[in-house]
């Protein structure tokens, strides 16, 4: 995935700061990133700005709760122990990508013979989703990750 800056600022000594916006469908959030050029010397003021930015963003990182982490582990276990063997019997496979705790949507990738198969939507909705939603009610839907 390549990012292109949506805003560039030129600072003292020809240094530039670029702001990037990265939207993630799974998290339903938008993140901004400050990227510092390593090719030019920076002033003390510029260094202070970058240092402060790192301090505030590092402390405010959103971490999953224990309950969310436990649920993700359970989902990965279900995929590995219940779903993968079924798909493997037909030459297919499945990979966990992410789980959106707000919407209850599980994102997966179908692999091997399942990847690109004309029946993958049927497999996903009438097989994988049906089994997982019965076992774990917090899973509302299963979708292919892009």
Whether the pTM exceeds 0.85: the reply is no
- The whole-angstrom separation of Cα 91 and Cα 81 is 16
Q: Name every residue whose Cβ is closer than 8 Å to that of residue 107 and which is 6 or more positions away in sequence.
A: 26, 97, 98, 99, 100, 142, 143, 144, 145
Return the structure tokens found at 34: 């400050």
Maximum pairwise Cα distance, the chain: 62
Note the pLDDT of residue 50.
58
Per-residue exposure over 53-70, b if at least 16 CB sit within 10 Å of its own CB, e if not? eeeeeeeeeeeeeeeeee
Per-residue pLDDT for the chain (146 aa), expressed as one digit of tens each?
A: 444 444 444 444 444 554 444 444 433 344 445 555 555 566 666 666 656 555 554 445 567 788 888 899 999 999 999 999 999 998 999 999 999 989 999 999 999 998 888 888 999 999 999 999 999 999 999 999 88
Q: How far apart are CA 64 and CA 78, in angstroms?
A: 20
**Whole-number pLDDT of residue 30:** 42
pLDDT of res. 40? 58
State the pLDDT at residue 25: 40
What pLDDT was estimated at residue 21? 44
Residue-level pLDDT at 141? 95
DSSP state of 126: I
List domains and CATH numbers for the chain. Answer: 7-59 (no CATH), 66-144 (3.30.300.130)
């Amino acid at each position: 995935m390549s990012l292109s800056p949506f805003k560039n600022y030129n600072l003292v000594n020809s240094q530039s700061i670029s702001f990037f916006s990265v939207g993630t469908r799974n998290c339903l959030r938008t993140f901004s990133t400050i990227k510092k050029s390593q090719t030019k010397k920076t002033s003390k003021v510029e260094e202070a700005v970058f240092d402060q930015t790192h301090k505030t963003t590092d402390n405010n990182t959103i971490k999953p709760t224990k309950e969310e982490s436990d649920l993700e582990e359970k989902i990965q276990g279900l995929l590995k122990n219940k779903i993968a063997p079924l798909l493997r019997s037909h030459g297919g496979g499945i990979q966990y990508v992410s789980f959106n705790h707000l919407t209850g949507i599980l994102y997966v990738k179908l692999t091997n013979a399942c990847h690109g198969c004309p029946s993958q939507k049927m497999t996903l909705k009438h097989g994988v989703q049906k089994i997982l939603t019965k076992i774990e009610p917090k899973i509302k839907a299963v979708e292919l990750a892009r």
